[in-house]
Amino acid sequence: MAASPIKEPVRIRRKTLANGNISLYLAIYINGRREYEFLKLYLIPEKTKADKERNKQTMALANSIKAQRTVDIQNGAHGFKGDYKEQTLFYDYYNALTEKRKKKESKGNFSNWASCLRHLKKYDPRPTLTFADITPKWVQGFHDYLENKAEAFGCDSRKRLEKRPLSQNSKQSYFNKLRACLRQAYEDGIIRINPMRGIVGFSAQEGTREYLTLEEVRAMAATDCDYPEIKRAFLFACLTGLRRSDIVKLTWGEVTELEGRTRLIFRQKKTGGQEYLDITPQAAELIGERGKAKPSDHVFGDIRYPGETNDSLRIWALRAGIDKRISFHVGRHTFAVLMLTLGTDIYTVSKLLGHRELKTTQIYAKIVDAKKQEAVDNIPKIL
C-alpha cells in the first residue's frame, strides 16, 4: 500500500481582483485549523517581457515567505508547536536558509547555496522530502553522487560540448552547504541527531594564484589602458589588496586623513568585517583629490562589468608585454605576494587583506617560498 503524500502545511493561493490583478496569500493548515495570511503581493497581466519578469520576482518572494512560514511553524513560532519537527520539508527549510544568505552574504556564497540546492534536487527530486528521510546513508549517497555522478553545469539548461565532473573545490563547497544546513537544523531542534556526524567530507584542492611581479606592475603602470578608470582601480588594488567589490563601493566618506596618512575605514562586502587600512602615498595619489565630492559619492568611476573589466585588463597586460591570464583579483594576489616578498610578516599581511583565518594567507607564503627555492636553485656551480 502506497504511503499517503505529506500535506504541505503552507500553500500559496490566488485571488483574482476586479482590476485584473491576482492577489497572493498563504493558506496555513495546522492541527486541523486553517488560517490565511495575505501577502500584499500581486501578479499583473503579462503583456510585456517586463511584466513576466516582475511576476517571476513576485512569485519568488512569495515562495520565500512560504518557506519561512513553514520553518516558523515547525519551530513553534506563531503559537504553533510541531510534535514531529523531523517532518519539516527539507527543501523548504534549505531554501529559507539560502534566502537569508542572499540578504546578508556575498553573491558568490549565495550562488553556491543555490547551486548545491540544484544538485540536491537532482540527487533526490522528491518535493515531499523531510528531515526524517535525511539519514547517514542518504548523506553518504549525496557524497557519492558529488564524487561520481555530478557534472559541472549539469543542473542548468546550458549545453556543453563535453561533460565535465565537478571540480574538487565545488564538491567540497556543495557538501559543506549540506553540512551547514543540517547543523542549523540540529541547533533549531528540528533533528535530534545530526546525520552528517562521522561522515568524511571533501578536502580542498589548492589552486594556483596568478600574480604580477613588481617589474610587471611597473610595466603596466607605464602602459596605456583603453579605460583609464580600470587602470586606476587595478593599480590601486595592487597597492592596497582591496577586492573589486570593495573598490567599486568605496565612498569619500570612507576616506580620512590621520596624522599625515590616508586611511580607509570601510566594511568588507564579502565578510562584513570592519576594516581600518592605512594606504601608501602612491595609492593616495590614485584616489586623487576629493574636491567637492559628497561623502556618499564613489571614489572610483565606472569600471564596467567584471567580464568587460577582465577583458580590458588582459588587452592592457599584453600591450605591456605580459602574457598572463589577468583578472581584477590578480591585483589582490599581487599585493599579498609583494608584501611577503618585501619581508612583511604573514600575520600583518593577513590583517592587511582582512582575512578571517591565517591559513588563507599561508597560500601566498607558499608562493614566496617557491620563489626562494627557485632562486637558490639558480645559484651557479662554484666547485
Q: Are residues 146 and 176 in the same domain?
A: yes
Q: What is the percentage of the chain residues whose pLDDT exceeds 90? A: 52
Determine the Cα–Cα distance for residues 52 and 45; give it in Å rounded to an integer.
8
In a domain, 383, yes or no: no
Low-confidence ranges of the chain (pLDDT < 70): 1-7, 31-32, 74-84, 103-108, 153-162, 205-208, 370-376, 383
What is the reported pLDDT for 85? 80
Range of the domain at 170: 85-205
Q: Are residues 90 and 103 in the same domain?
A: yes
Which CATH number covers residue 136?
A: 1.10.150
At 265, give phi and psi (nearest 5°). Answer: -120, 105
Helix/strand/coil for 278: strand
Q: Are residues 225 and 181 in the same domain?
A: no
Which CATH number covers residue 312?
A: 1.10.443.10
| Domain termination site, one of 145, 173, 205 | 205
Residue 106, CA distances (Å) to 103, 245, 246 in order? 8, 10, 12
Q: Are residues 288 and 339 in the same domain?
A: yes
Is 253:265 a contact under the CB 8 Å cutoff? Answer: no
In a domain, 323, yes or no: yes
Q: Check residue 269 and give left, alpha or beta (phi > 0: left; psi -120 to 50: alpha).
A: alpha
Look up residue 10 and give its amino acid.
V
Q: Are residues 251 and 342 in the same domain?
A: yes
Q: Are residues 142 and 245 in the same domain?
A: no
What is the reported pLDDT for 82? 44
Determine the Cα–Cα distance for residues 299 and 253; give it in Å rounded to an integer.
9
Q: Are residues 225 and 360 in the same domain?
A: yes
In a domain, 247, yes or no: yes
Residue 151, CA distances (Å) to 94, 116, 119, 166, 187 in order? 21, 12, 9, 5, 32
In a domain, 229, yes or no: yes
- Tally the C-alpha atoms within 13 A of residue 314's C-alpha that lie toward its C-beta: 11
The count of domains in the chain is 3
Q: Are residues 89 and 168 in the same domain?
A: yes
Q: Are residues 279 and 302 in the same domain?
A: yes
The dihedral through the CA atoms of 331, 336, 341, 344 has a sign that is: positive
What is the reported pLDDT for 171? 93
Q: Are residues 221 and 359 in the same domain?
A: yes
Residues near 9 by Cβ (< 8 Å), separated by ≥ 6?
28, 29, 30, 70, 73
In a domain, 305, yes or no: yes
| Domain termination site, one of 205, 222, 238 | 205
Q: Are residues 19 and 60 in the same domain?
A: yes
What is the reported pLDDT for 6? 54
Q: Are residues 69 and 89 in the same domain?
A: no
Tell me the pTM.
Answer: 0.56
Grid cell digits, residue 243: 577586492
In a domain, 335, yes or no: yes
Determine the Cα–Cα distance for residues 156 and 136; give it in Å rounded to an integer.
28
In a domain, 382, yes or no: no
| Domain termination site, one of 205, 226, 256 | 205
DSSP secondary structure of 130-192: BGGG--HHHHHHHHHHHHHT-BTTTTSS---SS--BPPHHHHHHHHHHHHHHHHHHHHTTS-S
In a domain, 357, yes or no: yes
